[in-house]
Amino acid sequence: MEPTPARLRAGGLLDLPSELGGKIIERIDGVDVVHFAATSKDAEKTCRDTLLLHGSVPLLLSSRLPQPQDDLDWEYDVQQSNGAFGLHDISNGMSHRCLAVDDWIGGKDDWLVEMNTINGVLNISLFQPFTAERRPLPPTQNITDAEDRWRPMSRMLVEIEDTFYHLLRVVLCHTPDEEGGFFAVAIFDDGHLAFASQGSYVWTLLKPPKGVLYAYMDVLLMDRQIIVAVDRYGGLSRWNIEAPHVIANKMAGPIDVGDNNINPRAGFYLAQRNGRLVIVCVHGWDTDAYDGSRVTLNHQCNFIWEDRVEAKIYDPELDIWLTEEFIFESGESLFLGLNYAFFFKVPPTFEKIRGDHIYLADFNNDSTIGIDIKTGASHLIEFPVVDFNVRQPIWFRPTTDCNAMQFAKLRHISA
């Protein structure tokens, strides 16, 4: 039977050692936490002293929505859900059910890129769940090319040169908390990108290389000036944001995957290490089709089986690509997916993840997989899932600690 505030008080929770009392608070309903904290100053102090989430430790967010029906129009009807999502603590294996977050299409650290549709128009904003701070990104109607021609955008579609393209995701390269403010890059199908930054009122289109007819798989920003994107063949394109009208500088990547149009296939991700470019290639098999039921679509989430992974880092002084041993520190892992890639040194006490791994949050639609960078062995991270992940799972990394009272504001309900 789940504790209630009355039972907690009657049971003498405040008489228990603080560590034991904190362990109990970790596992009760968020509403009960608030009620219990209101019973006395000592109870409130216990809740404020109980840390539920630790800053810089990765969390996993996943959907908690029912299986969509066959006739579901996912670009609209998914907005009618209650916004529930799952928050999974990989340090102790606990899962929580939280509410009131729109559909995410990207994120970095403790900021999510959210989207919703109002009157048929797509709106994109940045949201910090723990503070409830929301910052709108430039209106999605305001997508321009270098000649400042306006491009309307709705239902996750953008019109570019009289053709509509799907918005696949928004890569948040810098958060509002970082120096210089936010910087975001929108990825569309058929090779189109657009960026927006702090203080801008429009999205600016980047000129794609000629003949590009496929979506880029990942994007990052280097030195707050150079946008780098990787395509499905492992090729790299670079733009200077000071000259977005200039066609991208295209170059071959360090990993050759051939035409990549038949299985086995490859999925690519980008990261940075001490200012150097890192490219990760996951080899495996995919479903060769989007099923149309996901809010966010990209090629990586279609992988149903992983074969091996490669990672390389570019050394600009030597002008060569180096292998994994030059990327990872001992016990460190790399976290990839809809989030902006980050490294994290994994303590040996963590229950769900291990050091020396690459973790993919967008594997096989609703699974999270870890791949050992030394042996190639893989393991799935299993969390309770209710039926179907409409939203693609994403890594989320708070920058500050969160106590029981703060977490209760997310309307936390034990899963």
Residue among 73, 100, 74, 75 nearest 85 (CA): 100
Regarding beta strands 378-381 and 367-372, do their DSSP bridges make them parallel or antiparallel, or are they unpaired? antiparallel
Query: Domain with 233 in it: what CATH number?
Result: 2.40.128
In a domain, 378, yes or no: no
Tens of pLDDT, residues 170-182 = 999 999 999 999 9
In a domain, 174, yes or no: yes
What distance in Å separates the CA atoms of residue 189 and residue 111, rounded to the nearest whole number? 24
Which of the four pLDDT bands, split at 50, 70 and 90, describes residue 409? Answer: low
In a domain, 279, yes or no: no
Tens of pLDDT, residues 105-164 = 899 998 999 887 666 667 889 998 877 788 999 876 666 654 444 444 434 665 656 666
In a domain, 341, yes or no: no
Q: What pTM was estimated for this model as a whole?
A: 0.82
Residue 36, amino acid: F
For residue 60, give Cα distances in angstroms to 57, 109, 175, 377, 410: 10, 11, 18, 21, 15
In a domain, 166, yes or no: yes
What distance in Å separates the CA atoms of residue 27 and residue 50, rounded to the nearest whole number? 11
User: Are 215 and 191 within 8 A, CB to CB?
Assistant: yes
Residue found by looking up tokens 């008080």 in the block:
9
In a domain, 107, yes or no: yes
Domain ranges, residue 186:
101-250
pLDDT for 1 equals 38
Question: Mean pLDDT over residues 336-355, rounded?
Answer: 91
In a domain, 114, yes or no: yes
For the chain, how many structural domains are there in total? Answer: 1
Q: Which own/partner pairs from 72-81 qualify as long-range (CB within 8 Å, at least 24 positions apart)?
A: 72/293, 74/292, 74/293, 74/294, 74/295, 74/390, 75/117, 75/155, 75/156, 75/295, 76/117, 76/155, 78/103, 78/295, 78/390, 79/103, 79/116, 79/117, 81/390
In a domain, 191, yes or no: yes
At residue 298, does pLDDT exceed 60? Answer: no
Residue found by looking up tokens 């709108």 in the block:
136
Element (H, E) at 123: strand 121-128
